[in-house]
Amino acid sequence: MKIQHLRFLAAVVEYGGVIKAAERLHLSQPSVSAGLKALEQTLGRPLFDRSIPANRPLRLTPAGRRFYRHAREILRQCDVARADFLGEAEELRRIRVGVLNTLPHEAIAALVQAVAKQAPNVRLEVWEASPERVAGWLAQARIDFGWTNVSDLAANARVLWREPLVAVVAPDHPLAQTSGPISVRDLGAYPFVHRSTCELDAVGRAQLKAAGVTLRVTVRAEREELAFRLIRNGTGMTLAPRSLVPDDLVAVPVSGLGVARTIGLEWREGLDPMLPGLLADAMEEVVSLMPVSAETGRQSKRAG
């Protein structure tokens, strides 16, 4: 088993396919493909599920996912050994991460702890801001990573989870007593607290309009804690990503509102190829704590 082939595997997973991986590694596509084939022959079974359409990103098999985690650790140890040989192991390395200001505080704190545990020679700096500011910082190379809204088509990005917008109400609200999803039309029947960071995009607004729904906005809140405090006090309801719903409020799925946000890790051009893997490994522990949608294999949150 060759270390180079493990690097090929890591690059293909990180960049979503052989073509992009070859570009990033400055190698030919046949060279990367041949390396992956040789690795699979050594292992005796496929690493990737090749039954998916050719125009979709490659997807690891269950066994492939387990092996990939080991491969990342092997590569990390190789890099640490090389740094130690060159006398660089004690040198602190700074990583600056722009973090979406609507991510749960617990998740951000967990990331800091995970990086400190897994990479003690790395100093993590966290800058919290709106998605627009995080994107701007990334474009200006003021930060190394953005933990923010990402697109599946982004070149330097890795999707961590997807989560729908849900209605958020107090436990004694009439909608909290439903056993299943509410209708999108129910959103217009109660006072609405508008969060300034609301993820309701143009598609979502079009869905509300098509259903004949006009939100009865009674409060426009800049702060998340104010919006949720008002809902606790019975002022009304709001829409929010499922992971942001406090434990003492109720998250109710909304039928007919197909809006979700995609959260991931995005990194700037020219970054050391080792760093995305390092931070992504730390985030695995964080994501396991997230009450996100079933698409990531985790349990969804519903209080009450």
Exposed, middle or buried by CB within 10 Å (0-12, 13-18, 19+), for 285? middle
Confidence at residue 115, expressed as pLDDT on a 0 to 100 scale? 85
- Extract the tokens encoding 104: 């749960």
Mapping DSSP to helix (H, G, I), strand (E, B) and coil, where does residue 135 land? helix
Confidence at residue 88, expressed as pLDDT on a 0 to 100 scale? 53
Confidence at residue 140, expressed as pLDDT on a 0 to 100 scale? 85
% pLDDT > 90, the chain: 32
DSSP assignment letter at 152? T
- Extract the tokens encoding 31: 């060279």
Domains defined for the chain, CATH in brackets = 1-88 (1.10.10.10), 162-260 (3.40.190.290)
Q: Are 168 and 199 in contact (CB under 8 A)?
A: no
C-beta contacts of 62-70 below 8 A and 24+ residues apart = 67/43, 68/9, 68/10, 68/13, 69/281, 69/284
In this predicted structure, the answer to whether residue 79 has a pLDDT above a threshold of 80 is: no
Predicted confidence (pLDDT) per residue in 180-237, tens digit: 899 999 999 999 999 988 888 788 889 999 999 999 999 999 989 999 999 999 989 9
The chain-wide mean pLDDT, for the chain, equals 83
Range in 91-105, 133-147, 245-259 with the lowest mean pLDDT: 91-105
Helix (H) or strand (E) holding 146: strand 145-149
Confidence at residue 301, expressed as pLDDT on a 0 to 100 scale? 36
Predicted confidence (pLDDT) per residue in 249-261, tens digit: 999 999 999 888 8
In this predicted structure, the answer to whether residue 60 has a pLDDT above a threshold of 50 is: yes
Place of tokens 């509300």: 208
Confidence at residue 183, expressed as pLDDT on a 0 to 100 scale? 93
Confidence at residue 53, expressed as pLDDT on a 0 to 100 scale? 67
Confidence at residue 300, expressed as pLDDT on a 0 to 100 scale? 34
Average pLDDT in the 273-284 region?
77
